[in-house]
Chain A
Amino acid sequence: MELNGAQIVIQSLKDEGVEFIFGYPGGAVLHLYDAIFQQDDVKHILVRHEQGATHAADGYARATGKPGVVLVTSGPGATNAVTGIATAYMDSIPMVIISGQVPSPVIGSDAFQEVDMVGITRPCVKHNFLVKDVTKLAETIKKAFYIATTGRPGPVVVDVPKDITDPNIRIPYKYPKKVAIRSYNPAVTGHKGQIKKAVDLLLAAQKPIIYSGGGVVLGEASKELTEFAHILGFPITNTLMGLGAYPATDKQFVGMLGMHGTYEANMAMHESDVIIAIGARFDDRVTGKLDEFCPYAKIIHIDVDPASISKTVKVDIPIVGDVKPVLDQMLELIKESKKKPSKKALETWWNQIEKWRSVKCLEYDRESRLIKPQYVIEQLYEVTKGDAYITSDVGQHQMYAAQYYHFDKPRRWINSGGLGTMGFGLPAAIGVKLAFPDADVACVTGEASIQMCIQELSTALQYNTPIKIINLNNRYMGMVRQWQEFSYESRYSHSYMDTIPEFVQLAEAYGHVGMRIDKPEEVRPALEEAFAMKDRTVFLDIMTDRTENVYPMIESGKAHNDMTLRVAPSTPTDRELA
């Protein structure tokens, strides 16, 4: 069949199985929008700002595992998308971003709405393309999807000059079934010798711990991870990105690790003799002070990206490969092996961990007359029966959601972990709801974050994506305020806003339901009421304790065994526990 360039783009997306394009029109993509208009197979979601398009596509990708697709125009459309592209890049989310470009003959002449998109995005994409020939268009799009979704996933930009989509130039169209790139061959299975060594080390461990991350979610390896942990009987901790990959309600789960991880997870890491890192990348928010990171441990690291191995922490047994096949390989060896993990050693180890657990590091003042943000998340967990998709923005509310919503399933916890992008939560929730219209989707946010992409409330109305916005409103940029309290003698420099809008009215102005909650006893009924409104987006503006902090905390530059716990006189100290 003969198609013009614009039709080729849309037909390629269709052939790739794309359901939604998140986008915003403009001059350089008008031919493409005309092609979109003339078909019904690929649905276009019109956002209100291009950053929203990227986050919505990202949320869709995180929830489904399928690549998110974005379409933006040249110049400002393209630059507005950059934050969302970088967000996806840091968390290895598969996305394909099609950006319009000024016509080829004027590229480089500072034409209207011209920006060097390939240059600007180079450091925050897995790869990018500038299409120079319409006959290469379909193949380039195929390559973009292939690169975005294989190996360590990531965003791929395809920059398309306007003349490439000229409706008057028609060429034969064929979408390639497969594409091979000679310079790109991601590893799949792990090296057998390394796996054998790793299994031997694991079976001989006295104080082992499994430290797993977002790679397990991305690699669809939750089932394998759970079996792996159960068969070994080891404690397991998840990174912020890895939450849900292992059921949080399972007794072997010791909670999240890192800066706001649990006391038991961080202490167990610090004291362990063998760590197996699975699809995790030793991020600085996880490791704390590098020189004192896990001083007694031998480290095994499974990762699909060789560059993640020994990047910050030197590992003893690297295994490059997809986590799923590698875990399968390991499980097979463990089952075959005559050696079993030492029961006695594990019992001693678990006893120690139970002592750390008994600190109850996540306890907070339940008698307070003010609404505690932790309480809101606990109630949210109960009302949604732990089965909602939770998106979040960035800050204290994000940590509370991670700590108090016990994710039992992968892909339910959707947040910007690596880049830490405020404004992510609302558009991401729209993307999730489009993918799963029957599921409960909540965006846990704060009054500062929500304002960064609040215009997407309009998108939520247009496409009827009824989500619940849980706005933990403490009238501060909470996490900034917390750091200023701890490290700057409470000089709250610009972390406070005294002109916060009336969110209830704002939500209503956008056509949604707004609710304001001032007292702890109102929280539960309000949540129940909100989630009962299946067909409405509800904005719950919840006035929380202004001075609440996220505990426990490893302050910047400190080690895992040097956590700041909430001051509570009844808590036993580290020394008593040792």
Chain B
Amino acid sequence: MRHIISILIENESGALSRVAGLFSARGYNIESLTVAPTEDPSLSRMTLVTRGNEDIIEQITKQLNKLIDVVKLIDLAESVHIERELMMVKIKTTGQTRDEIRSMAAIFRGKIIDVTPTTYVVEITGPSSKLDAFIAAIDMDTIIEVVRSGPTGISRGEKGLHL
């Protein structure tokens, strides 16, 4: 099963490599990993998407917690949460496809954020599955490049991951 693990970690050099190293050393897989500082500059928040059965996820969370730099973590899959990913797609456009791409972007509530005579860059935010759907909906041959941030997430309601 897919799990989104949110981690508060000391914002120190090497902290990211401790997490990445743990995953490779113990043979866990990482589907995606995003990290950025939080409102408290001494802390980073990392969002990590991984897959595994319950036992593996339990080991992953325990091993992560064991890292000295990890302050706190939650498995978002354990409760109701919101997941968002940002994607930018650069698409080749010709006269007739420009309208098509524009309306497709509108359907997915995307924005066109860069325009040249022959290309569009479409920005879309949403759960990863929505981004997958957009890719599937347009002609693969017209895609020049795709860049995705990897999902981040937050739990619903008053509960939160903080000190």
Instruction: Point out residues on A near B: beta carbons under 8 Å.
Output: 118-119, 122-123, 126-127, 130, 147, 181-184, 305-307, 309-311, 314
Interfacial chain B residues near A305, Cβ < 8 Å:
66
Contact status B58-A130, CB under 8 Å: no
Question: 14 other contacts beyond A182-B163, A306-B62, A306-B66, with CB at 8 A cut-off?
Answer: A122-B18, A123-B25, A127-B68, A130-B13, A183-B9, A183-B10, A183-B68, A305-B66, A307-B59, A307-B63, A307-B65, A307-B66, A310-B55, A314-B55
The answer to whether B59 touches A184 (Cβ under 8 A) is no
Interface string of B2-42 (1 = CB under 8 A from A): 00000001100110011001000100000000000000000
A406, B89: Cα distance in complex, Å: 70
Cross-chain contact B68 with A310 (CB below 8 angstroms): no
Q: With an 8 A cutoff between CB atoms, is B69 at the interface?
A: yes
Interface residues of B in 50-73 (CB under 8 A from A): 55, 58-59, 62-63, 65-66, 68-72
Contacts of B9 in A (CB 8 A): 183
What is the CB-to-nearest-CB distance from B104 to chain A, in angstroms, rounded to a whole number? Answer: 45
Q: Which residues of A contact B69 (CB under 8 A)?
A: 183
Q: Chain B: interface residue count, which band?
A: 20 to 34
Complex CA–CA separation, A183 to B44 (angstroms): 13
Smallest CB-CB separation from B9: which chain A residue? A183
Closest approach, in angstroms, between the C-beta of A124 and any C-beta of chain B?
9
A165 to chain B, nearest CB (A): 20
Q: How far is it, in angstroms, between the C-alpha of A305 and the C-alpha of B68 when the chains are bound?
A: 13
* Complex: chain B residue closest to A183, CB-CB: B71
- Taking a contact as CB atoms under 8 Å apart, the answer to whether B14 and A130 are in contact is yes
14 contacts between A and B (CB under 8 A): A118-B14, A122-B18, A122-B21, A123-B21, A127-B68, A181-B68, A182-B163, A183-B9, A183-B68, A184-B68, A305-B66, A307-B62, A309-B62, A310-B58
When distances are taken between beta carbons in the complex, the residues of chain B under 8 Å from A182 are 71, 163
In the assembled complex, which residues on chain A have CB atoms less than 8 Å from the CB atom of B68? 126-127, 147, 181, 183-184
In the complex, what residues of A have CB within 8 A of residue B10's CB? 183
Which of B17, B65, B70 is close to A306, meaning CB atoms less than 8 Å apart? B65
In this complex, what residue of A is CB-closest to B64?
A307
Give A122's nearest chain B residue, CB to CB.
B21
A405 to B: closest C-beta gap in Å: 34
A182 to B71, CA, bound (A): 7
Interfacial chain B residues near A181, Cβ < 8 Å: 68
- When chains A and B are docked, how far (Å) is the Cα of A118 from the Cα of B66? 18
A130 to B18, CA, bound (A): 14
* Chain B positions within 8 Å of A311 at CB level: 59
Given A307-B62, A307-B63; A183-B18 close (CB under 8 Å): no
Cα A400 to Cα B4 with chains together (Å) = 49
Partner of B70, one of A118, A119, A183, A309: A183
Give the docked Cα–Cα distance between A449 and B79 (Å).
54
User: Do residues B17 and A122 form an inter-chain contact, with CB atoms below 8 A?
Assistant: yes
The winner among A127, A130, A183, A305 for most chain B CB atoms within 10 A is A183
